[in-house]
Structure 1
């Protein structure tokens, strides 16, 4: 519906980031005053350093959290340079905002902090049945004390409060929003002539001298990256499970101890008559209710067939009374204990004595029994074996990981001893580069493993890497068997490619030259004349470009002065050639439903507030001398939403 926002998604991503202040609360926000004392400095804020160790730890924390939330997400997403750099940017942003909050004495009241502990849905699992915060449960789950968490929350709320003061004051007036909204739907009628490079490629002639000259001027395009042939082994929990042998005696003992889990439990269906008397009711009222229940029991025992009618007339359970007291089938644990004990002690069609519970006094009749169904041992043997193996695998995995680490270190020039000892398969790969290939799975998609392969000791001495944790209970060890340094391809190797690129470049230039000539000629034609070669009139708009014209053509058409139409515009499309556009007239904006218009206004308002916040953050970065000392990865967005 909002093609403009989809079309300019980079802008939208930035706006989203500004509107969603990343929270580092539960997963280890770094204290602003923590200088760090290990590793290279990768960034600094207000004289405080962020070390590579801190950066890597924060990235691991975020990666672990995302893996838990989205187990099916491609692991290479976490290990990309872009993802790692985005983590560093978030750390810098957090420290800049924290520094600003401290310098402006931004505080968070105890009352607001208390509401976080008592109302935040993210902390629900740490509250007991009465809503009280369970300190021990929190410490065990997060490894942090509530006091540490409190300090982090205060810092996080303070930074939100800081930015809230900026974004909250950025609300534009409705008239301005209408102007912006109308600009999105502004339409022009145009006619377009395209000059495509493909139409000129056949006329381009290049000599060998031209090709060699072009090659020498663009050697950076013809670099072959450093590559290595590698072999590696992977130890994972699933492989370890398969090595665990479970004796038949243990399997059968486990079966006997857990029969209920492998089949269906016994179910019972009963009817009851309730004379209500809450546990807090006065003693006299409870005694009166019990006496009435005894009277009804006497009637039931005298005429058992009257149970249903008596329940309809006398039971004070509003749900079951209408059904003659009938309840659904239940298993143990579904009813309050006194009721359950009495029901499971009855035989079919037997009627209990009066049973007292916290709800009052019951007369229970057992109507039916579904016996427990337990499958035979052989039917669930595989499941039992898998469960026991899973329970034992963690300890076995730790032991095998230790063996793996020892063997690859002690016999550093081969993976074979470790593979033989642990029954692992040696896998091979050719042409592995220093950067994981997008979409690569397993070790070759893991940044830490690739870095270990290209470490000096691994490359120069062909030694094994150490055991690298891939996450998800997986360890990998690799070694380089062949290394090819980066080099520039020779002219002869890339001659065909050079020819293709030079011809394309000159064809695009020829298309532009022809287009510019046509533009000049058509501008000088008689007023109102429409030259041959122009396309049919079409409507273009920023918000709905149904004509599929390049965005540069649409923007050029909409920027033409509406007071001077019709007008001619030339548009350089680069490698796509050239376009001559005749802007005929302005068309009325497309009508949209009121709810869509309100959504547009909301999005525009948010975008303007985001722009205010971004400008404020840029000012704070400069004030607190925030710098990132590692290079920005090629192709990575400058802001990545968490």
Structure 2
């Protein structure tokens, strides 16, 4: 097949020349008022019935009428006629060439192409009624549209064969080599287009005609401005005053539910004897027990922590850990610390870090935050509760007002005590 393409290259040029000659007669000699099956174009011996060209022309006219409500100018009508004829001549030349070159398309490929066309599908599946409807709208019988698909696929096959195939001859190689070795001396003169603008004269009628024929290129995107009213919950909340009685009631309710209770926290010190590559578990335990004996004998816990603890974080502070809740510590450590009494010193406690000796310094917790500490929080909470209720009621009232007067927001704005605002220009895409 590829060899046929190459062998027919010269005849293809003849087809094009023949098409151009026929086109010259066709463009100036066609009367688009002809009907029936009268032949007004003949391409390479193949007759194109007038009704096919007239149908295609009428479809083009219908598409352009939306841009010309007062009628399509004569010049544009003539250009449309020329385009339609050119299209038929070009397609017929391609079809003649593919037929002569032996191109074809099996029925199963044609059927697959038709079945995979979205326009012929319903819910993703081929629908015969949709296919017949499309055929009728295009002026075809179902068999005619089927043949149109076949011809289109054959011409696609030709195009792919030409664009995806490379032919390299010895002459091509010699020519390429000569071009790559070739050098040229060039002199140029630069002429700025801006220097010639004043010499160009444009006919206003040509400008108008170009504009009218290409109106689709100058269409602006639809955009709107909106009037709206804004209801700000924070501004509504600021309009309320909360008295101390309400605050006390809210605080009392929170105390009863444990909302304002503080979790228990404890402060302690510890000495860590780490288990590592240089110290076995037994050695660490023995050292921790010896340190505890010294503490129980009266030596200062903090000083021993500064000297012997392997916890770099607390060592400089004499092992002090600060006030923390239970979940700040690993399990065995937390269990021991939160079961001790103040000033108790624990036995060595094993964790994944090593062995700890713990001294409990103090306990806080199971107490409520004072009223004054949470007063501002309660004021904001009660204001927001009222604002939400007010906003819900106001929205219901505004819905009724807007529904009753659908061309103005004035009544709704007055009821809400706000001003009508206006948006910037908004397009469908949001810009």
Structure number with higher helix proportion: 2
If the TM-score is normalised by the length of the shorter chain, which range does it land in? 0.3 to 0.5
TM-score by length of 2: 0.37
Structure with greater Cα Rg: 2
Q: Which has the higher contact order (CA 8 A, sep 6+)?
A: 1
